Chains A and B, each alone.
Chain A
Amino acid sequence: GDSVTQMEGPVTLSEEAFLTINCTYTATGYPSLFWYVQYPGEGLQLLLKATKADDKGSNKGFEATYRKETTSFHLEKGSVQVSDSAVYFCALSDANGGYQKVTFGTGTKLQVIP
């Protein structure tokens, strides 16, 4: 079956540091890939997405590139802020038995300190 593996957290960075959160996946089909963010006390919000190989999703300074050859979708940001502190979920959507199923990673908590 499909699966998503994320690096375990928490990840603690100083403000303005470079961020990478690794995500790899296995899928039977040709999935779409997503990053969601969950701020404290809130639901998940879609951060960015990519639907085919070599696509780059980007939003709010975050980027991720769909790498089919390495089955990866790593999240990056050049300079993090305290307000980026949240839990980040990698996810894939794949056709499975006639409907699109979404599989989420376990989440990576990011803490940014001033």
Chain B
Amino acid sequence: DVKVTQSSRYLVKRTGEKVFLECVQDMDHENMFWYRQDPGLGLRLIYFSYDVKMKEKGDIPEGYSVSREKKERFSLILESASTNQTSMYLCASSLDGASGGQGQYFGPGTRLTVT
């Protein structure tokens, strides 16, 4: 089975801090994604990557950046955390397209609180 792991389940940071969220997948998937999940808004795509060192903006990239130095690892960076970035962050990976007909595999999520 595909396994997607995220570095932390819960994280509390202060306003202005630089925050790193790490995601690792073990199935050699080409594509990786970062979403945030907020009540009533569903999942919103922040960034995705279809290859090492490649990245594309999603629907809400402002305030975030990403890094993909190795195929299995995709990092989300909050350059200067703000309270409106308090959310659940979900990492996902897929073998084809942005899912094609196969679907995405998700990590357990990181609940980030910015105070």
Contact = CB atoms under 8 A, between A and B. Distances in A.
Contact of A106 (B42, B90, B100): B42
Contacts, number: 61
Chain A: number of interface residues, binned into ranges:
20 to 34
Contacts of A93: 97-101
A72 B103 CA distance: 18
Question: Would you call the interface of chain B mostly helix, strand, loop, or mixed?
Answer: loop
Interface string B90-107: 101000111111111111
Contact of A104 (B42, B50, B102, B109): B42
Interface of A: 32, 34, 36, 41-46, 49, 51, 89, 93, 95, 99-102, 104-107
Given A102-B33, A106-B40, 20 more contacts: A32-B100, A32-B101, A36-B106, A42-B108, A43-B109, A44-B43, A44-B90, A44-B92, A44-B104, A44-B106, A46-B103, A46-B104, A93-B101, A100-B96, A100-B97, A100-B100, A102-B45, A102-B98, A104-B43, A107-B42
